[in-house]
Amino acid sequence: MTKTDQKQHVVIIGAGFAGVQVARGLGAAGVRATLLEQQNYHLFQPLLYQVATAALSPADIAEPVRRMLRRFASIEVLLGEVTGIDVALRRVALADGNSISYGILVLAAGATHAYFGHDEWAEFAPSLKSIADARRVRSRLLLSFEHAEMSDDQAERKRLMTFAVIGGGPSGVELAGAIAELARYTLAKDFHRIDAKSTTVLLLEAGPRILPAFPEELARYAQRKLESLGVTVRENCAVKDISQVSVMAGNDTLPIGVAIWAAGVEASSVAKMLGVATDKSGRVKVNGDLSVPGLPDVYALGDVALVLDTAGKPLPGLAQVAKQEGYYLGRSLVRKILDGAATPDFEFHNRGNAAIVGRQCAIFDFGRWRLKGMFAWLLWALVHIYLLADFQHRLLVAVQWLWQYATYDRGARLIVEPMRRARCDRAPGGK
């Protein structure tokens, strides 16, 4: 039995960190809620780059939403794409023509990639926001090595074995380091005609330094470690154009085999359906209790919300921020619905900002104190294993990381995109 009626029915859009946390809070109190999501799984996005670089398989970082919420009888999970929100009638329209009425609406639809007005670049430089994105990047990386193995043209080989990561934030840094390690430690043992250790990885950052959200001391340490892996870091290097075979960065045109976009994100387009003002990233500005100004019983959190900290600065789009907001809003709505009680404004507690640079190397910024190197790497691994959805995934990921650490091998090297036609001048069986 649920403890709410139709007027208090909560509809949650999005099953990311924030949306799932809200649903859990409501479900634990028996409050009726419907969770809408386009996919049937919750995705652990911080480890998507490991799927893209063959360290993990998609199933290692995805968990069926119904399984996560099945113990909560008051929570209904529905697959559907939201196409409109009528805040006057309190209805959410779906792509299949159906609609759902709500008493309280929670918008937690997440974010997508932003190409700053150059959406045509998406074809040549995919981002990492979904499993499909990660599989596409992995296929293109591995195909580039395969094409290089078949080519007798040294210039073409060099181009195919040059990879550009655009954006020097944590995602770009982690991705660049992982590609360099994939080439140096794993693929170098698999190919015989090419030297995978000679792979060039470019990390292109438009600003004056990589990892601008971290203290400069940690950012410079991370840059030195990346360079020791063979990554070329280019700062003050804004990208002006991207094609299938090159990137124009600064005043240079760089031949590349694969480009990957890690330079920016914007809120889900669902945020605009509320009809309220948004910032340049598409985020909805919210009150201290995460409610949307001017819209009764509408809340936004996670990557679609512009939430300010106690110093008046926007909170970053991190998993820990979304989880804390979800936990807060779940409890807040329970008190409002069952007791009619108000709650204090949301307050974020920083658990530390981290980035992994490579094997045995990471950085952690806790504000008052900082950590780098091997101990930061171990802490990063423990935190991410803990945050995975259930014990099964924690165990599988831990075993795979231990195996990779001991053997330098990566087992998820599957190419799922069609083999594009490659020029190969070498005759069959030739030397």
Q: How far apart are CA 203 and CA 376, in angstroms?
A: 22
Structure tokens at 250: 């600064």
**Amino acid (one-letter) located at 393:** H
Structure tokens at 401: 């990381």
Question: What sections of 128-275 are H helices per DSSP?
Answer: 131-150, 154-160, 170-181, 216-228
Question: What sections of 163-243 are H helices per DSSP?
Answer: 170-181, 216-228
Q: What angle do CA 386, 391, 393 make, to 5 degrees?
A: 85
Please name the helix (run of DSSP H) or strand (run of DSSP E) that holds residue 285, with its range, or none: strand 284-285
Contact between 31 and 330 (Cβ < 8 Å): no
Question: What sections of 53-190 are H helices per DSSP?
Answer: 65-69, 131-150, 154-160, 170-181
Structure tokens at 248: 């124009």
Active site residues: 174
